[in-house]
Structure 1
Amino acid sequence: MDRLRRSVVSVTAQWTYARPIDGADRISTHPEGSELVIEAVKTVRAGDPYLNGHFPGTTLYPAVFLLDGIRQAVGGELHRAPALGTHLGAADALGDWLELGQVVSVRVLRPMLEGDQLCLHIRVSAAGPGALRAALGCRRDDGTDVAKMTVELVRGGRS
């Protein structure tokens, strides 16, 4: 059994990840009390390779990409909120790589189509031990609400 355990550890230590899609074109961040507020902008482009064939005949931005956009934005901006980083726990071999620990709620209200500029407003706070809560409100540039999501993020996929 011990030999099997060593074998599993050596295999998992070699895993690598493909570069994810860019979850945002621009990001700005500011602390607000004990929370971190992230504003991100993503433009839906038909030429982006990840959209090819998602919904034939129409460029429709998949809502699951908003989930990854939250993960990327929080991981990339976490250094701006040291208290939240401390709450999350020490970085491991993956550094500030965050994973979805739990999807609390997802509501997609309108389609996100080619040319839409999506404005993501993410409010990050401490959740349970070793987790952060990120609440997303997403609007198109015309002010129309398109999605609301709340997730819990953990470091490196540990729950």
Structure 2
Amino acid sequence: MPSIRAAARPLDAVDEVTVVSADEVLARKRVTAVDPYLRGHYPDLTIYPGVFVVESVRQAALRLLEETRPEVTSAVLVGIDSVRFTAPFVPGDDLRLRATCTGPDSARRVSATVTKSGLDVDDAPAAQVTLTLALFQEDGDA
């Protein structure tokens, strides 16, 4: 099965991905202080950058598309519709996300709830992300 590769991946923003259904995916990313991209990002309190949380959602959605939509050859991020952060991700945290993809054949709206280990409230959202991907086949729109 060909891999969807819409853009260079500056980092592996997901460690594990589980496709639940044709429209839902679960993913996990372990935040570690030794990852080179964290050096210098808030030196006194190292955090996983918010843009990387968005990238985690995007990469999880791409993996869902690879497994459930083999006719799709590229998926381009065309919009970040909303992002809300309520807690930081720090070294030692597990970023866990559940994303649902909906929409027409040529686009997918991806809505994700992102939680983390270590919160006092079980599964309290640390972030909510909604983005839109445009889907393409080799010969045009999907």
Match of 1:134 in 2: 110
Going from structure 1 to structure 2, the CA distance change for 1:134 and 1:49 (only over 3 Å counts) comes to: same
SS state of the match for residue 21, structure 1? coil
Match of 2:95 in 1: 118
Cα RMSD after superposing both structures: 2.5
Residue 124 of structure 2 corresponds to residue 148 of structure 1: no
Number of equivalences = 129
Residue 18 of structure 1 and its aligned partner are, at CA, apart by: 4.3
Residue 73 of structure 1 and its aligned partner are, at CA, apart by: 1.5
Q: What TM-score, normalized by structure 2, do the two folds share?
A: 0.79
Residue 68 of structure 2 corresponds to residue 109 of structure 1: no
Contact 1:123 1:135 in 2 (8 A): yes
- Hey, which of these two has a bigger chunk of helix by percent? 1
Residue 63 of structure 1 and its aligned partner are, at CA, apart by: 1.1
Identity of aligned residues (%): 31
Structure 1 stretches of at least 4 aligned residues deviating more than 6 Å after TM superposition: none
> Which blocks of at least 5 consecutive residues in structure 2 are unaligned?
1-6, 137-142
Question: Larger C-alpha radius of gyration, 1 or 2?
Answer: 1
Q: What TM-score, normalized by structure 1, do the two folds share?
A: 0.71
